[in-house]
Structure 1
Amino acid sequence: MVNEMRALLHEAVASPPADDVDLAAVLDGGRRRVRRRRAGLAGGVAIAVVGVMAVSSLVGRGADGRDEPAASVVPRPEGPVTRLTDARAAVAGTDYDVLSSYTNDDLEAANGQYYDGVTDDGLILFRDGPHGAENRSRYALLDPATGAKQWLPVLDDQSQAWPVELGTDRLVLASLEGLERPGPLVVHVFDRATRSWSTMSWPGLPDGSEGPIPKLGPDGRLYVGIPATQGTAPPGGWPTGPDGEADDAAAPGDTHDLWSVSLDDPADVRDEHLRVGAVAFTDDAMIWSAVSGGVNDRIHVRDLATGAEHDFDPGSGRKCNLLGFGAVGDRIVLSQYCGTYDNGRDDRIQVLTTDGEPVTTIQGDGIDGWVTGGLVEITSYERGRAGTYVYEPASGAFARVSKANSSFSLGGPVPDGYLLWDTPVGTSSGPQEPIPGATQWLARWHS
């Protein structure tokens, strides 16, 4: 089975995959997309959910004056709401140009080859593997215009790795040492001029093997969340939803102590003295939530030039678990699971300004979203509305790119204006079995 690395890959990340990713879960590898509630696999790692379309129905008002839904009906979010039915059909050649595609016919039976992201100068990071007894991958830079691959020297590391920087001068892949028991965070840096790998770790960095995937800040430092507190289930466990599964909406969430490290000096380790849930960066701001994986009622914004800070309540809803977190321009994007009701799941991609003003909430049953390439990419498993969608934060345009999703989490970071998605190949052997293959598509989006 495929060993996928996204990241959020949906936070990831975050980017996407996206951003608030549980490394222990990612390192399990080889998994198909799974139904996700509390564990943060966003930023990029999509979820496979089949359900019926959510319908809103309001029956009264709560003590705060807001409409209060019946317990069995998916509630309506605050502010403007966008549905999947509002998306227009994207047109190849008009809305986007396909630059490259690659098909793996049977990822269920064996590992394959993948697009792991796109460099700042438009080359695809192409990964083959991992394969063999040593579970080793090899990488190439693929020119989407010609299909030519420039294979990189073999990276002597058996750990799974994911890209955190794909620059014109260097490629930076992060991994956790060890296969059976993940160890300290390390990065592998490929110097594109000398065509050589180097490996770096930070003895002064606390163990963060259970924290979210690191994020590269505008200052070139790598920001790492070290686990601080973890939310727990209530006495007696989570209640059972209408679908028969545990419904952990309104979870208390997790926090992390934020550290940063230099990618040039292993002795340069800095405690940022911040307790955060999830973190995102724009060119001029650092943005963080109070918690991740649970109900978040606070978002903080710091101006990187002046140090000025402000915070606000995003108004996400009393049951909404924050699973994915990203930012682009003056927009903040939250991917959330808000409960399961008799008529479907309540999944939301909430878009706010950096001042806390609601822009829109994309609501549906079985949807997930993350910031990538300056866009918000959304994967839907809603019956009759499955596929990949794109929301443009600057204009508010909303379009549907595909009508189906593969069963696997594929992809990686891309520069602004690029879009990477996947579609299924083959036929499932049963109603609960995955479709075995996948095609990845790389396109340039016309904003």
Structure 2
Amino acid sequence: MTLPPPIRIALRQRPDLFLAPKSRNSATISAINATALRVTGFKDTIASPFSRRFLSHQSYFTVRHHAASKRLSASFSTSSLIPPILCSGSSSTPLRGQPWCNFSSAPSPSSTNHPSPPSSGDSGDLPPTPPGSAARSTSDPYAEGKSGPNKSIFAKLWDRYSFEGQTKRIILGERLFRGAQFRANDLRWYREGRIPYEFRPRHAILTMHVWFLHKRLLADRVDPHAALLVQEELFDILWNDTRARIRAEGVNELTVNKHLKDAQQLTFLHCTHYDHAFQEYAEDPKRRFEELAAAIWVHVLNRDEECYNDQLRRMAAYVEYQFVNIVLNTPDDYFWEGRIPWGDVPNFTGMDDNSGKRLEEVSDAPKGFVELPKPWVKTLTDSGDAYYWNTDTNETTWKKPV
């Protein structure tokens, strides 16, 4: 049996596409609303009859982020990418005493092999172009006369409800998500990076890269309305993928929605922690770096008391770099084609432990990680069953390629 490639266009060509499904009861939606309100402080519009069919992550994606993105673009520069000192150790330092806050100095670009932005000809890790979709110039992301910041109400309705608008939005959302997914599944995070290959750390790495795309969509000035719709699509895909990964863990089907709600809460907290670091400390590189290290320690490493400071430094520097690279420097033409120039994964070689002793290099893949020959990748059905997808030919198979 051959499975279709993971582009779900055919499943969405239905008149009820934008209606909340009957399977989601009001109690579940209310619980998610309450969680989002507690985390973000914003109310949502999930009760609208034309609400998106994802749960109420609209609480998190509000217009106020547009102003914050503009403020950051004006104040954030690459010259402040890595602060000279991570943690002064003075009594005024609010994060003093945390296990990740015992650094004497920040890593220099040479010591961490900090990645440099790719050239204009390098598209980074790209999700494949779906069958039947043609390459296009994307300075105008949708049809002519329907893009730009001053759209008419009819153009906005066309974007949201037309078959053409839905198809392009789904394709772009899938491309963006697959780009984040491929980067988050890179073996180097879990081998050299020593991140536990477990559900929550893997979800946190994926959330980190989806957050970069989310911030880029909020900062978009080519077509803000289309960007907002793509953002909704991106997170809708994230929730569907999360549900499939939960089922792949073997949990009871009756508890899947509960686990999904928990994962959404963690996702909201993770994203707002990054927002706080970049908005609150936009002009304070030292405090921003500390807060990013805190976010990574809490959400990626699950407050591991035995984690390495060197590991945290390199990951925090990666978040700083990718924010500038994706949000501020990615060309519109690349982005609206779903071409994300991620740059390099952090170089985790030559790390020191917290006593200054050089760590032994890790050469074996972590338990549970499935190594596949390129260009094969492992993906999941909605029921959580694993199959394998050739990203060059779109061939799919149940059997593991050798």
The structure that is strand-richer by fraction is 1
TM over 0.5: no
**RCO comparison, higher one (Cα < 8 Å, 6+):** 2
Q: TM-score, normalised by structure 1?
A: 0.27
Q: TM-score, normalised by structure 2?
A: 0.29
The structure that is helix-richer by fraction is 2
